[in-house]
Structure 1
């Protein structure tokens, strides 16, 4: 599960190379993990890191920096380099319209873009993906290119959830099932079967920081090692665009929030640097669990 910081060896002569895969890169290490998975499978890649969001080191990879409002430039570069398939991966916060540096192509699309900003994140991302497809490209999920980054089912690491944690996981799954169709968020925190925080525009890390603050100021009066972060995709979410993610920073945030563990949907959440994730969770005494999408909590 560990991301590949430098390109692997070129595919052997017996591997047939397809057209280059375009990877539009936001923040974090996932873009390099996906690029490494594609190359190991014999697929050439071109990375398009987004200015202001992408923060990995792309110098060892074929790449071209793009701006968030430069859709015309992006299309031309992908076509010039022979790309047909496109992957979106990495963290990108919803921008303000006035902060976008628009090229002429994007400016002509502004009536549609403005309409997309009037919905939730899933509505916005799905609409942007549709624009890419209408331009003649095929949208591909990161999990299809690098399936090794998907969360497996069962317990990761040495720590197992107890009965109280399992009850919290069940309550969290029930709440997310209700929230998903409303395009509210992909995660929440449950303590003693009570939902104490819901992920919204701030994202998982800041939600966990809010839980830590609630503990510190006495608004949440629970013993340490109580509560679970539960994450899963929204119902009907286009997994090619926005899969929930789990990384070492999530573990650190859960520890500061005083939680007992993290439970995410197996096959529905991507994991960055799994070995480091497990190491940090074990050191902190935190459990990591992958539950099956439709069944009971995996054991």
Structure 2
């Protein structure tokens, strides 16, 4: 896919889910002289930081209202960023704009999260908007290649990383998850609907229960986009909380795909890794 980075128009519409990343992206845009307008998703976006930016509240299922707001603000380019719990169709309050494309919305819901987001993105693009990715609007928040903490992986960890990448490559077409934990060559846990934090908490419980016998300080969390994934949507994210979870799970470190993984508050993540003695590696794509 050709990058849109050199052709970004101002303002950019930031469709904001939960967490800190929508605001980090908005700050990155503003620092580059591109005006962000945030379209905050009800029930997901944090209202407190929102007040620093020009913004509107929108609800999932209100495509008609959303597209009118995008146009009124002059936002040709749109990015979706942040967490969002997948709603059931029965929970969505549909407006007329959504009903107009209900068949395509239904088709988007009949699949995993990447299928859903890319499907909604295609609907918006057919309405004349352009969906862009984090690499286009805020490349500074992406994970760089190489080691970014003091610790480095040993040969056992490098082998676990290689196996983790192989496992994620095989699982990618099924749109299941973006993370796996490998310890001494054994796949002990794969990410599911609970997300990465839940995955790491599960590994910690398995250790406490004696189901994982390897000593603490071994094993790796590996994260990567799904094979064939539209990289404008739902990129893997790591941050200080990921490091804390990996430390609690007794792992040696984490490895993610450089340039295709969001590093939330990277300085705090590096500090947390150095305190815990974990490595953080950005892998070549």
After TM superposition, the score normalised by the length of structure 1 is 0.90
How far did 1:176 drift?
Answer: 1.1
User: Given the alignment of the two structures, is residue 129 of structure 1 paired with residue 108 of structure 2, yes or no?
Assistant: no
Deviations 1:184-236 (A, max 9, x none): 21110001111111112221111111111111112222211111000111111
How many angstroms apart in 2 are the aligned matches of 1:252 and 1:71?
38
How many angstroms apart in 2 are the aligned matches of 1:114 and 1:214?
38
Partner residue of 1:166 out of 151, 158, 177: 158
Partner residue of 1:33 out of 24, 33, 50: 24
User: Given the alignment of the two structures, is residue 90 of structure 1 paired with residue 108 of structure 2, yes or no?
Assistant: no
SS at match of 1:236: coil
Contact 1:143 1:270 in 2 (8 A): no
How many angstroms apart in 1 are the aligned matches of 2:220 and 2:148?
15
Contact 2:9 2:77 in 1 (8 A): no
User: Given the alignment of the two structures, is residue 265 of structure 1 paired with residue 257 of structure 2, yes or no?
Assistant: yes
Structure 1, unpaired ranges of 5+: 1-16, 294-299
How many angstroms apart in 2 are the aligned matches of 1:260 and 1:229?
9
Superposition misfits of 4+ residues, deviation over 4 angstroms: none
How far did 1:19 drift?
Answer: 3.1
Deviations 1:3-47 (A, max 9, x none): xxxxxxxxxxxxxx9431100001111111111111111111100
How many angstroms apart in 2 are the aligned matches of 1:165 and 1:181?
26
SS at match of 2:39: strand
Deviations 1:44-65 (A, max 9, x none): 1100111111126110100011
User: Given the alignment of the two structures, is residue 242 of structure 1 paired with residue 234 of structure 2, yes or no?
Assistant: yes
Q: Aligned residue for 2:131?
A: 139
Partner residue of 1:197 out of 184, 189, 204: 189
Contact 2:20 2:82 in 1 (8 A): yes
How far did 1:182 drift?
Answer: 2.2
After TM superposition, the score normalised by the length of structure 2 is 0.94
How many angstroms apart in 1 are the aligned matches of 2:9 and 2:22?
19
Structure 2, unpaired ranges of 5+: 1-7
How far did 1:260 drift?
Answer: 0.8
How far did 1:161 drift?
Answer: 0.9
How many angstroms apart in 2 are the aligned matches of 1:261 and 1:183?
25
User: Given the alignment of the two structures, is residue 22 of structure 1 paired with residue 13 of structure 2, yes or no?
Assistant: yes
How many angstroms apart in 2 are the aligned matches of 1:221 and 1:54?
40
User: Given the alignment of the two structures, is residue 54 of structure 1 paired with residue 45 of structure 2, yes or no?
Assistant: yes
